[in-house]
Structure 1
Amino acid sequence: MAVTIRQIAELAGVSRGTVDRVLNNRGGVSQEAEKTIKRIAKELNYKPNLMAKALANSQKGTTIGVLVNSGGNPFFDKVLLGIAKAQEEIAGFHIKVKKVELTGYNIEKQLYAINQLVDLQISGLVITPINDSTIAEKLNEVNNKGIPVVTLNADITGIEKLGFVGCNYEKSGQTAGELLGQITQGNATVGILTGSNKMLGHTMRVDGFQQVIEQSYPNITVARILETFDDDQIAYEQTKKLLLENQSINALYYCAGGIDGGIKAVLELGYAHKLKIITVDDTDNIKQYLYQGIVNATVCQQPFKQGYDAIKLVFNKLIYNQLPEKKHLYTQNEIKVKFNLD
């Protein structure tokens, strides 16, 4: 027979409400009582009543909010597929997923979208946050309301959160730096095209890249670092300007979105196969650039897994009251060339 909260309460000499607070990490209970309750629950192998939780969810309309800066960035197609797969699997628990997709990195728009989701009385939030103190303050406010926050693909400093699911961006940049160093035999002038300095992951990729070339490849010089805002048209214009104004550049590192626009400029200028190019991710177009030899290598980050795991992280907290073993759940940095794309 399943162990109940009432049984635990009787053995611990406390109310059922106190047991419920401890088992759902709501706080407001003395350390001694919390320790006793958790010990008894463990000894009795207490499991939450999943049928009851599913019924409760159906009655109150439990929703996980998802806010991603996916507009115009084909990388997120696979992230959204991962989210959809997880959404399908948790549907039996009467948990819905409400997605909001934004384009660009406008702080006010992201704040407005967060407030919209909170107004819908979401029970959890998955977000690709802009790394800004205003956003951090808002997310801490959300967390303090008892709404677990998971950062997806992009992280942010200064917040309390359930966890982060995504790439180890510093290692991604380091990997790209080592690849370029080996491909060019340590002699190159490189232009870096990043997404936005407002995104922590983008700046960490650039930092990781520069760490490696400074330490291991002193004859590699960074000519310019330009932002593309994950926009193909801006990436096209920035790449074209970069190459025309810096004739010594013989390598490019694209470490965020806008890669298709950048490659368009490379092709128009007749620089295909003349430049060594390292990118990120493996969208269909990037695969074609690899097959054609326009891009030498790309560093990938398991986007489907990111989307899937982020939703399941919130689900496990809501249904099982399960916390992740680590705050940062990094996906694997995978080096891909034309021979291992499948």
Structure 2
Amino acid sequence: MEKKNYTIKEIAKLAKVSRGTVDRILHQRGNVSDKARQKVEDILKRIDYSPNIIARSLKANKKNRVVVLLPSNEKDSYWDQSVNGILEATKKANQFNVSIDIKKFDVDHPDSFNKLVNEIFIDPPEGILLAPLFYDQSLDFLVKCISANIPYILFNTHIEDSQSLCFIGQDLFASGRVSADLLNLIKIPNKRILIIHFDEDPDTSNHLKEKEIGFRRYFEEKRISVVIESMRLSSHLADHAEEQLQEIFGHDDIGGIYVSTSKAHIIADFLQKKSLQKIPLVGYDLIAENINYLKSGEINFLINQNPKLQAYLGTSYLSDFLVFGKKIERTKLLPLDIITVENLDFYL
């Protein structure tokens, strides 16, 4: 006997729930109660439901628009790589009538993020890819996406219980621990360790907070007695960054530095220009400035966060979901690649 193909309407009638509830369960988006989910899943098992892949593929005839929200790469070249990943994934997405609209906000001004959010809901897209640097503003935005039934993927920074289709990035807590382990190998004994956050406020930037917690926890759990001082600095010369650095490094009591962002080169540049004694330095990301100082020895280790791959996967996953209803794993954690001058060429 030929197997019957059930419609969403028929499944909803059998399960005694709304069509919208069935649609959200089948396409893994939006909020559904455990009771309703169980009802639908019981019916799906009873009728031996399997999605019609060919029918789903025909959705390629429908035009889908994805909006990508990320920090501007004008102030931080780290995001250049994210843009490159998005553009690379766009070539594939365009073949299935998925257009990618990149919108950039100013990392120094949360209001610029809010302005973009307001613009987005004037003409809502079919999907959102977001790097949620501003925690509170991002939460408000995601609540609006849920209300509008717009699926979204997060990359670079995770937000717990965000109901995102997927998070793509690294384990930031573990990243902090790895950085602490590296610095512990080379730090100068009996001296302070500095954690330096550039520009962003760790109290409102979850990715920086998680890194610092992991970093401190490492020394606590290993019972290593060390004084750790955390500070926020500006990367802009107009904001007297050099004067700040002169004050900090005018004392001979620093035994190691951990920079939580891609701005380790600012510290390396200052130490080199002032001909100060080399201080063990660990930072992030294979941007050109950091690579130069890794080669010269001012930076000892870099952890590669692979922003290009994060953005590429986020764009690709969301496109596949919209076009083919493809199932996405909830978390995609990328490796914590430790880069030294010895293995740098393999990553370039």
Paired letter, 1:66: V
Q: Which residue of 1 aligns with 2:279?
A: 275
Q: Which residue of 1 aligns with 2:209?
A: 203
Asked if 2 retains the 8 angstrom alpha-carbon contact of 1:191 and 1:249, the reply is yes
Q: Which residue of 1 aligns with 2:195?
A: 192
- What aligned pairs does 1:167-178 form with structure 2 within 5 A after superposition? 167-178=170-181
Of 73, 76, 79, the residue aligned with 1:73 is 76
1:91 & 1:336 partners in 2: Cα distance?
A: 35
Q: Does 1:302 align with 2:306?
A: yes
1:23 & 1:268 partners in 2: Cα distance?
A: 59
Shift of 1:157: 4.5
Unaligned 5+ segments in structure 1 are: none
Q: Does 1:284 align with 2:288?
A: yes
- What aligned pairs does 1:29-178 form with structure 2 within 5 A after superposition? 31=37, 34-35=40-41, 38-39=44-45, 44=50, 46-57=52-63, 62-71=64-73, 72-157=75-160, 159-178=162-181
- What aligned pairs does 1:312-331 form with structure 2 within 5 A after superposition? 312-326=316-330, 328-331=331-334
Paired letter, 1:200: N
Q: Deviations over 1:198-238 (max 9, x none)?
A: 2111111111111112332634322x322236657665554
2:253 & 2:150 partners in 1: Cα distance?
A: 52
1:55 & 1:79 partners in 2: Cα distance?
A: 28
Paired letter, 1:251: G
Shift of 1:55: 1.2
* Secondary structure in structure 1 of the residue aligned to 2:254: coil
* Secondary structure in structure 2 of the residue aligned to 1:304: helix
Paired letter, 1:228: L
Shift of 1:169: 0.9
Asked if 2 retains the 8 angstrom alpha-carbon contact of 1:187 and 1:220, the reply is yes
Asked if 2 retains the 8 angstrom alpha-carbon contact of 1:194 and 1:206, the reply is no
Asked if 2 retains the 8 angstrom alpha-carbon contact of 1:150 and 1:164, the reply is yes
1:85 & 1:69 partners in 2: Cα distance?
A: 18
RMSD (Å), alpha carbons: 3.2
Asked if 1 retains the 8 angstrom alpha-carbon contact of 2:190 and 2:255, the reply is no
Of 252, 259, 264, the residue aligned with 1:247 is 252
1:178 & 1:154 partners in 2: Cα distance?
A: 22
Q: Which residue of 1 aligns with 2:230?
A: 225
Asked if 1 retains the 8 angstrom alpha-carbon contact of 2:189 and 2:255, the reply is no
Of 256, 261, 271, the residue aligned with 1:256 is 261
Identity %: 17
Shift of 1:305: 1.2
TM-score calculated relative to the size of structure 1: 0.84
Asked if 2 retains the 8 angstrom alpha-carbon contact of 1:151 and 1:165, the reply is yes
Query: How many pairs align?
Result: 334
Unaligned 5+ segments in structure 2 are: none
Asked if 2 retains the 8 angstrom alpha-carbon contact of 1:155 and 1:201, the reply is yes
Shift of 1:284: 1.9
Q: Deviations over 1:40-82 (max 9, x none)?
A: 775556325245211122xxxx211111113311222222111
Name the CA shift for 1:171/1:241 in 2 (closer, same or farther; >3 Å). same
Q: Which residue of 2 aligns with 1:336?
A: 339
Higher mean C-alpha displacement, 226-235 vs 76-85: 226-235
